[in-house]
């Protein structure tokens, strides 16, 4: 188990976030470790829950989803819990967070087109007031974690 992440582990995490398919040999060359040493560090970070898994990055636009949006929801009285139970079943939602402030929820969603957006919002308005922000472009997308 790992109590504290050292400089080498931070570097390994940054490399994995940029491209998790790199070989242990490639990672080892970049951080100055042997492949078995890299594998051991990755395993320890997995066992400690620091490294939660490896994910594929999907181009939603190429998969037919032309709109990305951020939607906030200010839940009506008594509707937050039902919303939280329902939202995991919405395939359009790529990320959903419960937040502080005037709104209760912020979601990142992918949608096929404007009509799909309208249908999606129609599902949400029974739970609260929504605000929609169309994403024009990614400025920073899954930036590698850095040691603070």
**Per-residue pLDDT tens over the stretch 18-71:** 889 999 999 999 999 999 999 999 999 999 999 998 888 888 999 999 999 999
Q: Report pLDDT for 145.
A: 65
Indicate the CATH number of 67-134 among 3.30.70.120, 3.40.50.300, 3.90.1150.10, 3.30.70.920: 3.30.70.920
Q: State the fold for domain 7-47.
A: Arc Repressor Mutant, subunit A (1.10.10)
CA atoms within 13 Å, Cβ hemisphere of 119: 9
**Burial classification of residue 73, based on how many CB atoms lie within 10 Å of its CB (0-12 exposed, 13-18 middle, 19 or more buried):** buried
Quote the pTM value: 0.78
Every domain range in the chain assigned CATH 3.30.70.920: 67-134
Q: Among the residues of 1-148, which ranges form H helices? A: 7-18, 24-31, 35-47, 80-86, 114-124
The CB-based long-range contact list for 30-34 (8 Å cut-off, 24+ gap) reads 32/8, 33/8
Q: Report pLDDT for 4.
A: 75
Task: Decide: 65 and 111 in contact? Cβ < 8 Å.
Answer: yes
Q: Report pLDDT for 148.
A: 55
């Amino acid at each position: 188990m790992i109590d504290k992440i050292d400089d080498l582990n931070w570097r390994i995490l940054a490399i994995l976030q940029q491209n998790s398919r790199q070989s242990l040999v490639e990672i080892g060359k970049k951080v100055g470790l042997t492949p078995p040493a890299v594998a051991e560090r990755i395993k320890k970070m997995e066992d400690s829950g620091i490294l939660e898994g490896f994910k594929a990055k999907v181009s939603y636009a190429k998969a037919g989803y032309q709109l990305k949006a951020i939607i906030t929801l200010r839940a009506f009285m008594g509707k937050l819990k039902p919303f939280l139970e329902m939202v995991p079943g919405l395939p359009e939602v790529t990320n959903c967070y419960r937040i502080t402030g005037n709104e209760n929820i912020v979601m990142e969603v992918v949608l096929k087109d404007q009509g799909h957006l309208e249908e999606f919002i129609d599902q949400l308005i029974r739970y609260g007031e929504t605000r929609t922000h169309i994403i024009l472009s990614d400025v920073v997308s899954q930036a590698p974690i850095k040691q603070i």
